Structure 1
Amino acid sequence: MKLLAKRDGPLVYRQRFVTRLTHWVWVVCLFFLLLSGLQIFMARPDLYIGQQSGFEFENRVLSIGAAFNEGELGGVTTVFGKSFDTTGALGVIEDENGDFRPQTFPGWMTIPSYRDLATGRVVHFFFAWALVGTLLVWLVGSLVNRHLTREILPRGRDWAALPRDIADHARLRLHHKRTYGPLQKISYFAILVVVLPLMVATGLTMSPGMNAWAPWTLDLFGGRQTARTIHFVLMLALVVFFVVHIAMVLLAGPINEMRSMITGWMRVDGKEDAR
C-alpha cells in the first residue's frame, strides 16, 4: 500500500501563529486535564444518568470497582449492566511488589500518581481555565484572520467530497495540500466548535456554584450526573481523536507535519501555489 506523500512541491505558509500557539497550549492543557480528571474520577468511579446517583433506583451506566470472586480480589468494570473482569488494568491493579490492590486506575494514568483528590482538583481547575482562555484566543484570532470561516467551517462541497476522502485515508493515500481536506475540516470543526465547548459547559454544570448562578444548565444537560457522564464520554472522544491524529501525523510525514505546526511552513504535493 503506497502513501501519496509527495515532497517535491513548494513550501507554503499553512499554519498561522495563533493556530500554532493555541495548538501547543492545548496539548499541555489536555494532558494535565486528562490525568487530573482521572484522579478526580477515582473518588467516585461510577457514571449515572439523571440529577443524582441511584439509591432506591438504578441509573448507573458505568462502574469500575473491585470484588472478591472465590476468595480472590479482582477488578470488575460494569457497562450498562454487563460486567467484565479487568483485573490488572481497572479496578484492581498490580503494585511494584507484584501484589494486587484495589485502585481504579494505575498510578501512571493519574496526576498525582497517588490518591490525592484535592491536588487533582487544583490541577484540573487550573488547566481547565487555561483551556477556556486559549479557546477564546483561538476563536477571536481565527475570526480575525478568517481561519475559522475559510479553513475550518465545512461547506457543501466538503460534505460531498467526504466519502472519497475517507476512502483515501483508509487506503493511506494521504495528501498534502495548502488547505485542509474534508475529513480534516469536519474533524477539527467537531473538536474545536462542538467537543471542547461542550467539555467546558458540562464541567461547569457539575459545579454547585454554577448551578446556583445558572440552574438552567442542569435542565439543559438533564441533571448533574448526566453532565458528568457526557463530560466523561467527550473525554474518551478526545483521546480517540488524539490517537488518530498522532497516527495520521506519523503516516503523512512527521517532519513535514511538525514543521508546519512549529514554523507554519509545509511542503505540499505537486505544484501547489506558494501563496
Structure 2
Amino acid sequence: MAVMETTDENTMPARNTRLVYRHRWPLRLMHWINVLCLTVLLMSGLQIFNAHPSLSLGHASNDNTAWLAMGARTDENGVPRGVTRIFGHMIDTDGVLGASTVDGERSVRAFPAWATLPGPQWLAMGRRWHFFFAWLFVINGLAYVGWSVVTRHLTRDLTPTRNDWRGFGRSILDHLKFRHPKGEAALRYNILQKLAYLGVVFVLGGGIVLMGLAMSPRMDAVLGWMVDLVGGRQSARSWHFVIACGFVVFVVIHVFEVIVTGVFNQLRGMITGWYRIDEDDKP
C-alpha cells in the first residue's frame, strides 16, 4: 500500500491518493483466462451457427419450428440481401446478418467473416476450437468457485448483505445517473455488481455449460433427462444461444462501466492488482 500526493501544473491543492492492492493474482489470472475463453467461444460458436443458421424449439429443426432464422433474398439485380426472421417477422439485416461481403464478393452467411473463428468458413476446426476452450472455461470456472469459497471471496465480497438490499433502489438510481462510488467506497462491490457477478457465474455460466452438454450428440444419450427437461435438443441449442447473448450483454455493460469509472485505473487493478483511490473524494 502506498500513499502519494499529486499537484497539477496550475498549482492546484495537492490531493491525497492511495494505491491499494485490490485483486490477488489468482483472481486476475482467472479473469483474463475468461476473457480469452469467452472471446474464442463466441466467435467459434458463431462459426458453428453459420453451418445451420436457425434456432428451433423441440426435437426437430425445420422452417415450421424455427423461431429465428438468418438467410438471404435475391433482389431485382440478382444480388443476395441478408434478412433475419424472428418469430415470423422479417427484418432487413443486409451487410451484417444473412449476407455480407467477403474478399470483395457477396457471400450468403448468417454472421460475417470478421465475427467468426478460426476463418470465414471452417466448421470442423471451429468445433475443435469451441470444445477445447469450453473445457478450459469450465475448469477455470470451477477453479474460481473453489478459490472464492476457500478465500471467502464469495461470502465476504459477493454475497449481498441486508444493507445491500436496503440500498437496492438507490444503487439503481446511482447507476442511471452515472454516479459511481468514490474513495474507499469504490473498493467494495455494490448490490448490482454482486447480483451481476453471481448471476454470470452460477446462472449464465452454469446454464450455458449444461445446455452445451444437452445438445451434444455424445452427451445427450447420458443426459437424456435434461434434454427432455428443456423440451428437446433443439430447445437446448436455442437456450445455449440466448445465454450466449446474455454474456455479450454483460460484457458490453461491464466494459462500459470500466470506461466511465476510469479505464486506466481499472485496467491497472486487474493487471497488476494495484488500484488507486482518492482519499479526498467522498463516497
TM-score when scaled to structure 1?
0.90
Q: 2:221 matched to which residue of 1?
A: 212
8 Å CA contact 1:43–1:117 kept in 2: the answer is yes
Match of 2:171 among 165, 169, 172: 165
CA distance in 1 between partners of 2:241 and 2:146 (Å)? 28
1:258 aligned to 2:267?
yes
**Structure 2: runs of 5 or more not aligned:** 1-14
Q: Per-residue CA shift, 1:88-116, capped at 9, x if unaligned? A: 1111112332x422121211100022211
1:223 aligned to 2:229?
no
Which secondary structure does the structure 2 equivalent of 1:213 belong to?
Answer: coil
Q: CA RMSD in A?
A: 1.8
Q: 2:252 matched to which residue of 1?
A: 243
Greater RCO (Cα-Cα under 8 Å, separation 6 or more): 1
Q: 2:90 matched to which residue of 1?
A: 83
TM superposition shift of 1:173: 1.3
CA distance in 1 between partners of 2:267 and 2:167 (Å)? 26
- 1:169-180 aligned at under 5 Å gives the runs 169-176=175-182, 177-180=186-189
Q: 1:105 matched to which residue of 2?
A: 111
Q: 1:22 matched to which residue of 2?
A: 30
TM superposition shift of 1:269: 4.9
How many residues are aligned here? Answer: 263
1:186 aligned to 2:186?
no
Q: Which structure would you say has the larger Rg? A: 2
Q: 1:47 matched to which residue of 2?
A: 55
Q: Per-residue CA shift, 1:188-232, capped at 9, x if unaligned? A: 111112101111111011112211122111123221111111111
After TM superposition, where is structure 1 displaced by more than 4 Å over at least 4 residues in a row?
none
Which secondary structure does the structure 2 equivalent of 1:105 belong to?
Answer: coil
TM-score when scaled to structure 2?
0.87
Which secondary structure does the structure 1 equivalent of 2:179 belong to?
Answer: coil
Which secondary structure does the structure 2 equivalent of 1:211 belong to?
Answer: coil
Q: 2:44 matched to which residue of 1?
A: 36
Q: 1:3 matched to which residue of 2?
A: none
TM superposition shift of 1:18: 2.1
TM superposition shift of 1:8: 4.0
Q: 1:93 matched to which residue of 2?
A: 100
8 Å CA contact 2:212–2:240 kept in 1: the answer is yes
**Structure 1: runs of 5 or more not aligned:** 1-6
One-letter amino acid of the structure 1 residue matched with residue 154 of structure 2? L
One-letter amino acid of the structure 2 residue matched with residue 198 of structure 1? G
Q: Per-residue CA shift, 1:11-44, capped at 9, x if unaligned? A: 3332222211110000001110010000000011
One-letter amino acid of the structure 1 residue matched with residue 193 of structure 2? Q
More deviation, 59-68/128-137: 59-68
Q: 1:202 matched to which residue of 2?
A: 211
Structure 1 or 2: more strand by fraction: 2
Q: 2:81 matched to which residue of 1?
A: 74
TM superposition shift of 1:271: 7.0
One-letter amino acid of the structure 2 residue matched with residue 37 of structure 1? G
One-letter amino acid of the structure 1 residue matched with residue 83 of structure 2? V
- 1:144-159 aligned at under 5 Å gives the runs 144-159=150-165
More deviation, 214-223/233-242: 214-223
Which secondary structure does the structure 2 equivalent of 1:39 belong to?
Answer: helix
Match of 1:11 among 19, 27, 34: 19
One-letter amino acid of the structure 2 residue matched with residue 13 of structure 1? Y
Q: 2:12 matched to which residue of 1?
A: none
- Describe the shift of the 1:269–1:48 C-alpha distance in structure 2 as closer, same or farther (beyond 3 A): farther
